[in-house]
Amino acid sequence: QVQLVQSGAEVKKPGASVKVSCKASGYTFTSYDINWVRQATGQGLEWMGWMNPNSGNTGYAQKFQGRVTMTRNTSISTAYMELSSLRSEDTAVYYCARIYDSEDYWGQGTLVTVSS
């Protein structure tokens, strides 16, 4: 069965970077784009960007341009999302998701807390 398993919670100081991983299993990793979506506590969903694991091509939301980098390691079927210059407003649960046509699979979410 398709699974996306994310790395554990992180606590970071303002100005630092965080790298969240998303390990895929149950399907051919390079066949589907991976999206990253975040959600601050009590707030709505916010799309951050996508990555094609086959080509490595990416597309980022304008808000995160210059601060986010999405990469992958195809040998271990893992996607990564790195966010730099963290500020308190980046405190949120970060999800990876495979959404294509009628199917969607989401990671369990990774809580990133930014606090001094």
Partner 1 sequence: QSVLTQPPSVSAAPGQKVTISCSGSSSNIGNNYVSWYQQLPGTAPKLLIYDNNKRPSGIPDRFSGSKSGTSATLGITGLQTGDEADYYCGTWDSSLSASYVFGTGTKVTVL
Contact set with partner 1 (CB under 8 A): 35, 37, 44-47, 50, 59-62, 65, 95, 97, 99, 101-104, 106-109
* Cα–Cα distance, 62 to 19 (Å, whole number): 19
Q: Which two tokens stand for residue 41?
A: 């506590």
Nearer to partner 1, 16 or 45 (CB): 45
Nearer to partner 1, 8 or 44 (CB): 44
Q: Minimum distance between the CB of residue 94 and partner 1, rounded to whole angstroms?
A: 11
Q: Minimum distance between the CB of residue 62 and partner 1, rounded to whole angstroms?
A: 6
Q: Minimum distance between the CB of residue 45 and partner 1, rounded to whole angstroms?
A: 4
Dihedral of the CA atoms 20, 18, 81, 2 (nearest 10)?
Answer: 10
Among candidates 25, 34, 48, which has minimal Cα distance to 96?
Answer: 34
Q: Which two tokens stand for residue 3?
A: 């699974």
